[in-house]
Chain A
């Protein structure tokens, strides 16, 4: 099962449903949507956790949302965060 871990990040200002975020791993600055930031808050820096457990945590927060759509949405955000090297993914 894939596990993800967050790199050290610093959040700057929030604006237009987004936030400015600095990632210490890449040294790059990103603008991330609030939904991605909310997801990042569920991913720890100190240890890797399974994507399954993140999906579980989020689905508890949003019990009325369509499970399949929510899962697809979260997977897409995680993929983007991995691509931007804001989080890492390991087996």
Chain B
């Protein structure tokens, strides 16, 4: 049963009581909150996700609520709690949905040991799967939003999970996190895209989350072998340039972007070496979204 079978008032009731239990790829999240922003945005962006069955084991019990005391009324704040523990300092209450998204990223990054997790987006078309590892601010999410607006499947925006057993990517297909000017760029590019409410003055600037395509969420259980590692970098006025990257350098760059490489040890090294060995590796510099789309389409067709 999908979350979109619930009415807004049912989502609200669930969140306020037993919690909304959603399956997101290999994980099950229970989300409790009495905040309207959370109910509204969950309904808007997570409608296509499956509600977990009653007997499923919940991986992460999350609560997003305003703390007790005077801060509930004076400059209200919001707390993220996992199993009752608050790993972050509270944020202004207007940032309730962003803190839920960041907290879910943190849950996966801190507790995943059967996947190599990399700060990377992953998109797929016609069997061509590209992993896009990148530092924050490199334009990875903007590029991802543009590509999924062109019919590419979204496997992940923020965090790519590579199976230690098979080397394939397990999709999580959660909303795409966009910052600052890129929100308007993507809205102008894809007028049909559905967004969360846009929140300004976060520590990352203005934040908005774009809903994943329904087709990506429907194929969330379909893993994908990696065809290419592409390291994107947006640079104003730069010529579009896709250049092969030496595999040793690609390995080091991917290690730098990994959340749990140091914890996994040898199996992390072996997994990453194996998947990079089998994939093509590129550096990709761009300034025009259309050039980026053309480059990726050509790659997908050349497979």
Binds B, one of A15-23, A50-58, A69-77: A15-23
Let me know if A15 and B265 touch, CB within 8 A: no
A-B contact number at CB 8 A: 41
> Within 8 Å of chain A (Cβ to Cβ): is B75?
no
**Size of chain B's interface in residues, with CB distance under 8 A?**
16
CB contacts (< 8 Å) of A63 on chain B: these are: none
- CB atoms of A13 and B273 under 8 A apart: yes
A24→B251 CA distance, assembly (Å): 17
Residues of chain A with a CB closer than 8 A to B251's CB: 12-13, 20
User: Does A91 lie at the interface of the complex (its beta carbon under 8 Å from any beta carbon of B)?
Assistant: no
Cross-chain contact A14 with B248 (CB below 8 angstroms): yes
**B229-265 interface bits toward A, Cβ cutoff 8 Å, 1 = contact, 0 = none:** 0000000000000000011110110010000011001
Cβ of A35 < 8 Å from any Cβ of B? no
Among residues of B, the one whose C-beta sits closest to the C-beta of A13 is: B248
Q: In the complex, what residues of A have CB within 8 A of residue B270's CB?
A: 10
- Picked from B247, B252, B261, the residue with its CB within 8 Å of the CB of A31 is B252
B residues lining the A interface (CB < 8 Å): 246-249, 251-252, 255, 261-262, 265-266, 269-270, 273, 276-277
* A and B contact pairs by CB, cutoff 8 A, 28 listed: A10-B266, A10-B269, A12-B248, A12-B251, A12-B273, A13-B248, A13-B251, A13-B273, A13-B277, A15-B246, A15-B247, A16-B246, A16-B248, A16-B249, A18-B248, A19-B248, A20-B248, A20-B251, A20-B252, A22-B269, A24-B266, A27-B262, A27-B266, A29-B255, A29-B261, A29-B269, A31-B248, A31-B252
